[in-house]
Amino acid sequence: MSQTLLIPMPDNERLAGRLADQLDCGTGELITRRFPDGETYLRFNTELGKRSVAIVCTLAHPDEKFLPLIFAAATARELGASKVGLVAPYLAYMRQDRRFNPGEAVTSRQVAHLISQAFDWMVTVDPHLHRYGDLSEIYSIPTRVVHAAPLVSRWIKENVEKPLIIGPDSESEQWVTAVASDAEAPYCVLQKVRHGDRDVRITLGNLDAWRGRTAVLVDDIISSGRTMIEAVRLLAAQGWPPPVCIAVHGLFADRSDELLVGAGARVVITNSVGSGRSQIDIAPLLGEAMGALADLGPPDSAGRRPRPHGS
Ligand code: R5P
């Protein structure tokens, strides 16, 4: 019988609860607080026994979360957990995938190393795989990637008439082609050059062939929002009505969501980061992916997985 226990890191309780319902497994409690000097106090308030543990922690703003996460994984092991997995709907640092300038840290690889040391498996949603073809190039533990494209396509089909799917840069092409194909819509990919964290230049080209359609910008991440904001601005300059801006991960640094809404755009994201703006639920796909890695046991005849003892 399954012994899997879901442990949410702070602010991940809702998603962990959804996954626990879906997988019919228990959730445990982890108490954390800061000492006056800023160090982390952490205590499992649930008996772990020899259960398989899955820690749920989305990794937006990762620096403040990472050390407590590593402490939690190490403590779970010390307390006897048979396996310790990580459910990280948003996986941070993936965009630092090359030494762009001499002396820079390739932090994607370093984070991968630290997570691989601390955990037995990991499930995530659409990591930013650009120069890496697959997470296995940097992660040495088993990983499963959930793709939000089918959910994004479904949302577009249900909510947008005559969409034109637009990728704001070449890196978005992998998501845009998948979404456009499922949504049975035409697509195009723009050219973007980034000059700095908040300085991007985009070439829109001539989109006249698709006049009368609704522009739907699709990207994996909205961070500073400069990519989306610039694309929205250029579309407006060509006389297009405000577009729909869809991203898998809404990080929304610099209040970029408010800026986009202020420019008339409709902003749509998944709940990978837990923003109140999310309209697309990735929990069911995450649960399915976990089933393949966590020790959840076989489903019963109704498709439910066994509830661990004592939960
Ligand atoms: C980068 O290539 C990504 O796909 C996104 O386009 C980028 O991370 C968005 O960042 P920002 O919102 O800061 O422009």
Buried b (16+ CB within 10 A) or exposed e, 111-150: bbeebbebbbbbbbbbbbbbebeebeebbebebbebbbbe
Residues 116, 243 within the same domain? no
Which residues, including other chains, have CB under 8 Å from residue 89's CB and lie 6 or more apart?
A: 15, 58, 124, 125, 146, 270, 271, 272, 273, 282, 286
* The pLDDT value given to residue 226: 97
Residue nearest to atom 5 of ligand 1 (CA): 221
Q: What is the pLDDT of residues 154-209, one digit of tens each?
A: 999 999 999 999 999 999 998 899 999 999 999 999 999 999 999 999 999 899 99
Backbone phi and psi for residue 172, each to the nearest 5 degrees, phi listed first = -80, -5
Res. 292 pLDDT band, cuts 50 70 90: confident
pLDDT the model gives residue 300: 55
Instruction: State how far the Cα of 164 lies from the Cα of 227, in Å rounded to an integer.
Output: 18
- Are 139 and 159 in a shared domain? no
**Does residue 307 lie within any of the structural domains?**
no
Q: CB–CB of 202/194 below 8 Å? A: no
- Domain with residue 249: its CATH number is 3.40.50.2020
Strands ordered across the beta sheet of 244-250: 187-189, 163-167, 214-222, 244-250, 266-270, 278-280
Q: What is the pLDDT of residue 305?
A: 46
- Domain enclosing residue 6, as ranges: 2-147+283-294
Q: Indicate whether 131 and 12 sit together in one domain.
A: yes
Position 5, amino acid: L
Q: Does 304 have pLDDT greater than 80? A: no
All residues at 6 or more sequence positions from 61 whose CB lies less than 8 Å from its CB, including other chains: none
* CA–CA gap between residue 57 and residue 86 (Å, rounded): 7
> Which tokens hold the place of 228?
């989306």
Pocket probe for ligand 1: among 190, 193, 198, 219, the residue whose CB has the most ligand atoms within 8 Å is: 219
Q: In whole angstroms, give the CA distance from residue 181 to residue 212.
A: 20
Pair (160, 117) in one structural domain: no
The predicted-structure confidence for 263-286, as pLDDT tens digits, reads as follows 999 999 999 998 788 999 999 999
The count of other CB atoms within 10 Å of the CB of residue 236 is 15
- Asked if 140 and 41 sit in the same domain, the reply is yes
pLDDT of residue 308: 36
CA of 198, closest atom in ligand 1: 13
Kindly indicate the confidence band of residue 148, based on its pLDDT and cuts at 50, 70 and 90.
very high
Please state, rounded to an integer, the average pLDDT across all residues of the chain: 93
Q: Which residues does ligand 1 sit against, CB inside 6 Å?
A: 95, 168-169, 171-172, 200, 219-227
pLDDT band of residue 40 (cuts 50, 70, 90) is very high
65 tagged catalytic: no
Q: Is residue 299 part of a domain?
A: no
C-beta separation of 217 from 246 below 8 A: yes
Same domain, 76 and 222: no
DSSP-derived secondary structure letter, 209 = G
pLDDT at 297: 58
d(C-alpha 196, C-alpha 21), whole Å: 43
213-268 pLDDT, tens per residue? 999 999 999 999 999 999 999 999 999 999 999 999 999 999 999 999 999 999 99
Query: Is the same domain home to 259 and 188?
Result: yes
Q: Facing residues of 44 across strands?
A: 30
Q: Do 170 and 272 share a domain, yes or no?
A: yes
pLDDT tens profile 70-88: 999 999 999 999 999 999 9
Give the count of domains, the chain. 2
Q: How far, in Å, from the CA of 249 to the mean position of ligand 1?
A: 10
Q: What is the 224 CA–ligand 1 centroid distance (Å)?
A: 8
Ligand 1 mean position, distance from CA 247 (Å): 10
12 with 135, same domain: the answer is yes
